[in-house]
């Protein structure tokens, strides 16, 4: 299996508001930047989308270390919450989980790839996290 690093970040101008996501895939000396967004969205949706589009860009199953400054995304997998939500039909107890469509997509991708989630402190000088933030905010700012 190829070993890939995936760096992700999401941004939102208002919450909800104009949003963007950025992802950078690193494989050896190769890097690929991906960005996108939505006119009306939330920060959590953009954090999830960054991880999803990064993993979807891989053409074959890979061993991926995914770095994110979103504790919500990282902890959902590290603490096993996502398995519980899935077994309950993407619910959290009696409440419907927010963004079940994105959680289901991300979960499925973690079944395809061997993903290790790593939390990084945002806006703390981490080069790839800062680059992802610039991609995400630039996309969010591109909406008129």
Per-residue confidence (pLDDT) for residue 144, from 0 to 100: 79
Kindly tell me if the per-residue pLDDT of 125 is higher than 90.
no
Mean pLDDT for 84-95 is: 93
Report domain extents, the chain: 2-141
Instruction: Provide the percentage of residues in the chain whose pLDDT is more than 70.
Output: 100
Our answer to whether residue 133 is catalytic in this structure is yes
For the full predicted model, state whether its pTM sits above 0.85: yes
What gap in Å lies between CA 70 and CA 54, rounded to an integer? 15
Mean pLDDT for 59-73 is: 97
Our answer to whether residue 123 is catalytic in this structure is yes
Q: Helix (H, G, I), strand (E, B), or coil: what is residue 27?
A: strand
Per-residue confidence (pLDDT) for residue 126, from 0 to 100: 87
Q: What is the CA radius of gyration of the chain?
A: 15
**Catalytic residue (one of 9, 20, 22, 37):** 9
Our answer to whether residue 69 is catalytic in this structure is yes
Per-residue confidence (pLDDT) for residue 28, from 0 to 100: 97
Kindly tell me if the per-residue pLDDT of 123 is higher than 90.
no
Our answer to whether residue 141 is catalytic in this structure is no
What gap in Å lies between CA 123 and CA 118, rounded to an integer? 16
**Catalytic residue (one of 20, 38, 47, 113):** 47
Architecture in CATH for domain 2-141: 2-Layer Sandwich (3.30)
């Amino acid at each position: 299996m190829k070993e890939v690093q995936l760096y992700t970040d999401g941004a939102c101008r208002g919450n909800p508001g104009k949003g963007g996501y950025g992802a950078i895939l690193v494989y050896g000396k190769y890097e690929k930047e991906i960005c996108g967004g939505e006119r009306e969205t939330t920060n959590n949706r953009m954090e999830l989308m960054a991880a999803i589009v990064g993993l979807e860009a891989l053409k074959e199953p890979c061993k991926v270390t995914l770095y994110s400054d979103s504790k919500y995304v990282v902890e959902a997998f590290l603490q096993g919450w996502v398995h519980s939500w899935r077994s309950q039909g993407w619910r959290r107890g009696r409440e419907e989980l927010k963004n079940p469509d994105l959680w289901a997509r991300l979960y499925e991708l973690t079944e395809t790839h061997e993903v290790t989630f790593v939390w990084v402190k945002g806006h703390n000088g981490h080069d790839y996290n800062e680059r992802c933030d610039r991609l995400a905010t630039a996309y969010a700012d591109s909406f008129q």
